[in-house]
Structure 1
Amino acid sequence: MTGDLLLAGGRLPGSTSEGRFSDGGAAVDIVIADGEIAVISPAGDGAPKGFERIELDGRWVVPGLWDNHVHFTSWAAVAQRLDVAAARSAAEAATLVGEAERSEAARGASEHGGDVHPLIGIGFRDALWPDEPSAALLDAVSGSRPVVLISADLHCCWLNTAALRRFGLDGDQAGSPRGVLREEPAFAVQRALGDLPDELTDAWALDAARAAAARGVVGVVDLEMTWNATTWARRAANGHDLLRVEFGVYPQHLERAIAEGLRSGEALDGTGGLVQVGPFKVITDGSLNTRTAYCFDEYPGLEGQPHSRGLLTVPPKELRALLLRAREAGLVPAVHAIGDHANRLVLDAFEALGAGGSLEHAQLLAETDIPRFARLGVTASVQPEHAMDDRDVADRYWAGRTGLAFALESLRAAGATLALGSDAPVAPLDPWVTMAAAVGRSRNGREPWHPEQRIPATAALAASTRGRGSVRTGDLADLAVIEHDPLTVGSDALRTMPVALTLLGGRETHSAL
């Protein structure tokens, strides 16, 4: 679908009660011309002739959704990997590996070009396990085949001995069992696993883009830890046109980005404006589940051990130098911080820089740091579904402080700009799931966790639509047509919101009409 378009008989969220045209006067027609919203008028009020017409039959129209923090190629690869998220112990995870290995061996699927390719799993959360992962435990079920399990938060990899040999590792890290790698060593393994044929990962990425469009997504901020400019230029040239993409640049690629003149907000040549340079991404600490998020307090059970308060991966002086170098080159910073001490140091760096950007995750905050986001012009780029995944781990390792964990309402009330995302594959690339967690702070029938940190549906929608919140004339016709009013349904209904139509600049990228 291209060209001029009339969306007939739709509704705008919050303007009507539930039901098809129950109040008669609230239905609107939306005229789209040249990829923009030209007119919004009462339904049937002088609709233009010659426009392609789509009957919405009272469905609701919202701005197209953005996921403001994804690792897109990693998310696309999830469907090809063993899901070990259900494991409640290291022994259970090893059992899942053994079953998968026997199944693949029976099909001959482990052979790839005469070599035995690794069995890759994803999704384990070991923070509450009663036993410890180790190379020996995986060796018992895998033999000579390399096995790599990636934690749900991506900050840890669990390898068997064959995989340690494959990647030239000894497997020993201070404070970790043999075969368990955390932070940069884990990231290095994941980068190596991502070294696959472009045509393969691009096909996976196209499938993932279709799935995202089917959930009303029009854009993503891709923070994959690679040189993304080449990846997305290639994909755009090969017809990947279902999403707008802003890609991140990491410190290892900063000088290359500067040399090539990349600046945040500028479109890559040859991508039709769909692919833009995004932020400069720096990771300053670890994660909660890996117990490497950098905190003021020691983690229970780790007192007196090395890194008992987590791991600071970029010292303050180095961080400030990196942010200054990036800002001077026109790259907007996006800095990862999860622990309260890491967040304090990142806000200090932004204050010294005298310019804003985004603070990615902001999971645990000191109360005095919350007002600093608005004052410094720092966007809180947050992932509400993480609170649903991490609530039990937080209650154990951040005991007594969880009132300021995932403190979305405190940030909003203090005037901070919120940007919601998933951190896919850590959580699903589905903004409806994200919004449901932000609005309800609950999942699977559990009592809401710190319900005082719930945010209104209006705020969640705005934080998922680049601040648009509502459909307006003059905006790009990036739109989603949905079955329920997102401002009046409960969080459970938000989580499973049916999407009937997605438009990108007035062009159909998904239709269930």
Structure 2
Amino acid sequence: MSAVLLRSVRRVGTSGTPADVLVTDGVVTTIAPAGTLAPSSPDTDVVDAGGAWLGPGLVDHHTHFDQWALVRRRVDVTGCDSAEATADLLADVARTGVADPVLIGHGYRDGLWPRPARRALLDAAAPSLPTVVISADLHAVWCSTSALAHFSRVLGRPLEAGEDGVLREQDAFDVTGALSSVPGAVLDGYVADAAEAAAARGVTRVVDLEMRFGLDRWVRRIHGGTDALRVTSGVYATELSDVIARGLRTGDVVPGTRGLLTMGPFKVITDGSLGTRTAALVDGSGSLAWAFDDLVAVTRRAVDAGLVPAIHAIGDRANTLALDVFEAVGARGTIEHAQLLVDADVERFARLGVAASVQPEHAMDDRDIADRHWAGDTDRAFAFASLVRAGAEVLLGSDAPVAPLDPWVSLAAAVGRDRDGREPWHPAERMSALAAWRGSTDGRVGVSVGDVADLVLTEADPLAASSAALRSMRLLGTAIAGRWTHLDL
């Protein structure tokens, strides 16, 4: 039997009166006034929390975990405000020497650049090295001439781009996938480091929507000792047949992983993104990846096999399409992103039992891009509060590496819709602290007897913190089933 005694904690969602909490074999078994509980055995791990706030562990409902692990080792260009500045930064890196066969930057946002990307800039930045820059939203890859040739060979088909050198949507995804093909042991090490960093920010579970089916990689990683997170691993249409053949259903716990790994949803992408200007809008702009009948057919096939759909939709036209698909199939699931909605669709989320899986920090990253490219419509963009008022379930995540895998960043953006000292953007769509917290904890508010002890210890009460305080929240501890994955007391 394993036991942990937390002394003098204040439970989130209560008045804050200190209590002692006993965890036995991964479950909260006793809660009593502070100072009244004794260790249940000589081996009990006693932690004096000193009045820290105890809450349920946090969940990131949308990540691309391999990409996040890799991006942490690529050239960060998010601070560059032009194509020229991006190329100059990469040129500086190239001059210092690059050991890898491709120079990779990540995080460009060209929606506000004064001049468009140009292939010649990257050709000049690193003349002897294939150079690519992945957009912040992952829907575009800016390539040098040698990079286009290199990845045409790798993929076995010609990649064509104009003078800008930009590949979009599926071509971009294919190049990003090729860039992810690093040796398994190397990538596993990167992932282990990223998992520990997530645990240090209070994360106990992630939904991994990596485009390559990741279940078997996660089995290998867990067997190799990567145990800082619970993982729910999704699948895309390209590998749907294999998952169905294996009899995997959403929610299945994978044997031999100590309960850490679960089969996730069926993910399908309907449109592009705001940053790449490929989101499908009611004005006819953007692009749809699926015809309605085809999307219904593949979604029904997944649902019939026991998989819950998670449908990517950014633009208002794409969101209407996604809701129409859920209605036609008669299934529940999630719409991932739900960034721009027509008014009539807001209540449909609740009526159809479809959850909005949103990434609040995207609103902060893209507010100026939205004001330019969705001018006049941003009052219905990132409509978090409207969805909550309509009775829809709203789940929070990061879409890492699009935004940092840090739930406190997501919480801050959800409740404040502000950052960097700027005024809140469309403050009417701010979520309440309680709604945002529930969206980050699988609906839990506090810690009760009988709960699985996936826990987080924080210095301050997350339900009373300002958006600025949430962004800088000090984490004191994170536990999965009572096992510490991070402790800093």
TM-score in same-fold range (> 0.5): yes
The letter of the residue matching 2:9 is G
RMSD of aligned C-alpha atoms?
1.2
SS in 2 for 1:487: coil
Match of 1:172 among 151, 160, 166: 160
Matched residue, 1:34: 25
The letter of the residue matching 1:68 is H
Q: Provide the rounded CA distance (Å) in 2 between the counterparts of 1:336 and 1:461.
A: 23
Structure 2's unaligned 5+ residue stretches are none
Structure 1 residue 140: Cα displacement: 1.3
Q: Provide the rounded CA distance (Å) in 1 between the counterparts of 2:255 and 2:87.
A: 47
Asked if 2 retains the 8 angstrom alpha-carbon contact of 1:36 and 1:476, the reply is: yes
After superposition, residues 172-251 of structure 1 pair within 5 angstroms as 172-173=160-161, 177-251=163-237
Structure 1 residue 70: Cα displacement: 0.3
Matched residue, 2:47: 54
TM-score, with length taken from structure 2: 0.97
Matched residue, 2:333: 357
After superposition, residues 18-417 of structure 1 pair within 5 angstroms as 26-50=17-41, 51-104=44-97, 109-110=98-99, 117-168=101-152, 170-173=158-161, 177-297=163-283, 309-417=285-393
The letter of the residue matching 1:242 is A
CA deviations over 1:215-236 (Å, ceiling 9, x no partner): 0110000001102122111111
Q: Provide the rounded CA distance (Å) in 2 between the counterparts of 1:199 and 1:375.
A: 46
How much identity, in percent, do the aligned residues show? 53
The letter of the residue matching 1:395 is D
Matched residue, 2:10: 11
Asked if 1 retains the 8 angstrom alpha-carbon contact of 2:67 and 2:401, the reply is: yes
Structure 1 residue 61: Cα displacement: 0.3
Deviates more, 1:135-144 or 1:398-407: 135-144
Is 2:407 aligned against 1:431?
yes
Matched residue, 1:306: none
Q: Provide the rounded CA distance (Å) in 2 between the counterparts of 1:67 and 1:394.
A: 24
Q: Provide the rounded CA distance (Å) in 1 between the counterparts of 2:355 and 2:163.
A: 37
SS in 2 for 1:344: helix
Structure 1 residue 146: Cα displacement: 0.5
Asked if 2 retains the 8 angstrom alpha-carbon contact of 1:171 and 1:178, the reply is: no
Structure 1 residue 179: Cα displacement: 1.5
Structure 1 residue 314: Cα displacement: 1.4
After superposition, residues 431-450 of structure 1 pair within 5 angstroms as 431-450=407-426
Asked if 1 retains the 8 angstrom alpha-carbon contact of 2:116 and 2:164, the reply is: no
Number of aligned pairs? Answer: 483
The letter of the residue matching 2:137 is D
Q: Provide the rounded CA distance (Å) in 2 between the counterparts of 1:262 and 1:144.
A: 46
SS in 1 for 2:449: coil
Asked if 2 retains the 8 angstrom alpha-carbon contact of 1:284 and 1:314, the reply is: yes
Asked if 2 retains the 8 angstrom alpha-carbon contact of 1:171 and 1:180, the reply is: no
Q: Provide the rounded CA distance (Å) in 1 between the counterparts of 2:454 and 2:273.
A: 34
Matched residue, 1:490: 466
Asked if 2 retains the 8 angstrom alpha-carbon contact of 1:82 and 1:121, the reply is: yes
Asked if 2 retains the 8 angstrom alpha-carbon contact of 1:370 and 1:411, the reply is: yes
Q: Provide the rounded CA distance (Å) in 1 between the counterparts of 2:171 and 2:62.
A: 22
Structure 1 residue 178: Cα displacement: 4.3
Q: Provide the rounded CA distance (Å) in 2 between the counterparts of 1:442 and 1:177.
A: 37
SS in 2 for 1:370: helix
Q: Provide the rounded CA distance (Å) in 1 between the counterparts of 2:240 and 2:349.
A: 25
The letter of the residue matching 2:210 is E
TM-score, with length taken from structure 1: 0.92
SS in 2 for 1:435: helix
SS in 2 for 1:80: coil
SS in 2 for 1:11: strand
The letter of the residue matching 2:160 is D
SS in 2 for 1:6: strand
